[in-house]
Structure 1
Amino acid sequence: MCHVFAGQDPERYASQTRRLRLNGQSTSIRLENSFWAILDQIAASEGVTTPHFISTLHSEVIELRGEPKNFTSLLRCACLKFLEISSNQHAASIAAE
């Protein structure tokens, strides 16, 4: 079982830093490439750029909960939530067939 996880391409878990603006302020976010790929997918599904999606998410979190203590972790969890929702939608479409 662990070979599935251990054998993955190291490029998937290599980190990448991207610079973007959050609420008008320039910042850098460092995430693993797999998370960037998911964020790019989320943004594309929303019809926006990844920086725009991240900035909007940041604004909405501030509005709902205040400044997040660890925004990078929130982004990772957003990716997991997206995968969870996608998986549930896929399972529901299979069940409907």
Structure 2
Amino acid sequence: MCQIFAGQDPDNYASETRSMRLNGYSTSIRLEAAFWRVLDDIAAREGVTVPQFIAKLHDEVIELRGETRNFTSLLRCACLIHLDRGGEVARAREAA
């Protein structure tokens, strides 16, 4: 079982830092490469750049919660939700 997880390409979990602006401030976000690929996909589907998508998500979290505690974890969870919903779509297609 663990071979599936342990045997993955180390490039998947290599850290990658990207600089962007959030609420007018320059910041850097560090995530694993696999999460950046998912964010690239989400942004492309939304028709925006990754920084634009992240800025919009950040603004929405501020509006809903008043703060963004652990924003990188929120981004990782957003990626998991996106991947899970993709699985739901695939399962719905198979059932039809």
Q: Could you report, residue by residue, the CA deviation over 1:48-76 in whole angstroms, capped at 9, with x for unpaired residues?
A: 00000000000001001111110000000
Q: For structure 1, list consecutive stretches of 5 or more residues without a partner in the other structure.
A: none
Q: Deviations over 1:10-60 (max 9, x none)?
A: 000000000000111110000000000000000001010000000000000
TM-score by length of 1: 0.97
Query: Unmatched 5+ residue regions in structure 2?
Result: none
Amino acid at match of 1:41: D
What residue number does 1:15 align with? 15
Q: Give, in whole Å, the separation in 2 of the partners of 1:88 and 1:65.
A: 28
* Deviation, structure 1 residue 79: 0.3
What corresponds to 1:6 in structure 2? 6
Runs of 4+ in 1 over 6 A off after TM superposition: none
State the shift of 1:87 in Å. Answer: 0.6
| CA root-mean-square deviation | 0.6
Number of equivalences: 96
Partner in structure 2 of residue 76 of structure 1: 76
For 2:7 and 2:79, the matched residues in 1 are separated by: 22
Q: What percentage of residue pairs aligned between the two structures are identical?
A: 66
